[in-house]
Structure 1
Amino acid sequence: MTSLIRRTKSIKAFLNPAQIPHNLTQTPISTQPHQNQCPPQPQNLNPLRVLQFVTVSTQSSSKFPEYEMPTVTWGVVQGRREKLVSRVIVCDFLKTLGIVPEELEHLELPSTVEVMRERVEFLQKLGLTIDDINEYPLMIGCSVRKNMIPVLGYLEKIGIQRSKMGEFVKNYPQVLHASVVVELAPVVKFLRGVDVEKQDIGYVLQKYPELLGFKLEGTMSTSVAYLVSIGVCPRDIGPMVTQYPYFLGMRVGTMIKPLVDYLVSLGLPKKILARMLEKRAYILGYDLEETVKPNVECLLSFGIRREALPFIIAQYTQIIGLPLKAKLSVQQYFFNLKLKIDPEGFSQVIEKMPQIVSLNQNVIMKPVEFLLGRGIPSEDVAKMVVKCPQLVALRVELLKNSYYFFKTEMGRPLKELVEFPEYFTYSLESRIKPRYQRLKSRGIRSSLNWLLNCSDLRFEERLQGNYIETESIGPTFCMGGKLELPGNEIVSDEDDESDDEVLYRRTVSL
Structure 2
Amino acid sequence: MLNGRRTQLSFPAKVFICQAKSGIDGSLNLKVVSPTLLVAEKEEAKAVLTLFLKKQGSSNAVAARTINKSDLFIDHLVSKLHSKHKSWYLAGRELTTLEIRDALIPYLESLFEEHGDTLVDVVENYPNPPVKDKSEVLVSPSSPVLDSKKLKAVSLVSETDPDGGNLRPHIVYLIELGMDIEQIRSITHRFPAFAYYSLEGKIKPVVEFFLELGVPREHIPTILSKRPQLCGISLSENLKPTMKFLESLGVDEKQWPKLIYRFPALLTYSRQKVMESIDFLHELGLSEENIGKILTRCPNIVSYSVEDNLRPTAKYFRSLGADVGILLFRCPQNFGLSIEANLKPITAFFLERGYTLEEIGTMISRYGALYTFSLTENLIPKWDFFLTTGYPKSELVKFPQYFGYSLEKRIKPRFSIMEKSGVRLLLNQVLSLSSSNFDKALKKKMKKMQDG
Q: What TM bracket, shorter-length normalisation?
A: 0.5 to 0.7
CA separation of 1:278 and 1:333: change in aligned 2, threshold 3 A: closer
Partners of 2:163 and 2:220 in 1: how far apart?
25
CA separation of 1:180 and 1:265: change in aligned 2, threshold 3 A: farther
Question: Do the aligned partners of 2:430 and 2:438 also contact (CA within 8 Å) in 1?
Answer: no
The secondary structure found in structure 1 opposite 2:257 is: helix
Aligned AA (1:388) = Y
Question: Do the aligned partners of 1:264 and 1:270 also contact (CA within 8 Å) in 2?
Answer: yes
Q: Equivalent residues in 2 for 1:39-438 (5 A)?
A: 126-129=141-144, 166=148, 168-169=150-151, 185-287=168-270, 289-337=271-319, 339=320, 341=321, 345-362=323-340, 363-397=342-376, 398-407=378-387, 409-438=388-417
Partners of 2:202 and 2:163 in 1: how far apart?
20
Question: How far off is 1:464 after superposition?
Answer: 4.2
The secondary structure found in structure 1 opposite 2:256 is: helix
State whether structure 2 residue 436 is matched by structure 1 residue 460: yes
Partners of 1:295 and 1:358 in 2: how far apart?
13
Deviations 1:2-37 (A, max 9, x none): xxxxxxxxxxxxxxxxxxxxxxxxxxxxxxxxxxxx
What's the RMSD between the two structures over aligned residues? 3.2
Partners of 2:362 and 2:440 in 1: how far apart?
34
Deviations 1:262-288 (A, max 9, x none): 33334433342211212332332222x
Equivalent position to 1:444, from 401, 414, 423: 423
Question: Do the aligned partners of 1:350 and 1:357 also contact (CA within 8 Å) in 2?
Answer: yes
| Rg comparison, structure with higher value | 1
Aligned AA (1:206) = H
Aligned AA (1:313) = L
Partners of 2:272 and 2:162 in 1: how far apart?
39
CA separation of 1:180 and 1:276: change in aligned 2, threshold 3 A: farther
Aligned AA (2:438) = R
Listed as ranges, the gaps of 5+ residues in structure 2 are 1-138, 446-452
Partners of 2:331 and 2:265 in 1: how far apart?
21
Percent identity between the two aligned chains: 23
Deviations 1:399-423 (A, max 9, x none): 233223323x321122211111111
Partners of 1:453 and 1:311 in 2: how far apart?
25
Question: How far off is 1:315 after superposition?
Answer: 3.6
CA separation of 1:461 and 1:378: change in aligned 2, threshold 3 A: closer
TM-score calculated relative to the size of structure 1? 0.53
Deviations 1:378-434 (A, max 9, x none): 211111122223222333333233223323x32112221111111122222221111
Q: Which moved more, 1:308-317 or 1:229-238?
A: 308-317
The secondary structure found in structure 2 opposite 1:376 is: coil
Higher relative contact order (CA 8 A, sep 6+): 2
Which residue of the partner structure matches residue 493 of structure 1?
none
CA separation of 1:238 and 1:370: change in aligned 2, threshold 3 A: closer
Give the paired residue count. Answer: 302
The secondary structure found in structure 2 opposite 1:126 is: coil
Aligned AA (1:354) = P
CA separation of 1:332 and 1:461: change in aligned 2, threshold 3 A: closer
The secondary structure found in structure 1 opposite 2:168 is: helix
Aligned AA (1:460) = S
The secondary structure found in structure 2 opposite 1:410 is: coil
Partners of 1:210 and 1:351 in 2: how far apart?
38
TM-score calculated relative to the size of structure 2? 0.59
Deviations 1:352-374 (A, max 9, x none): 22122221112212221221222
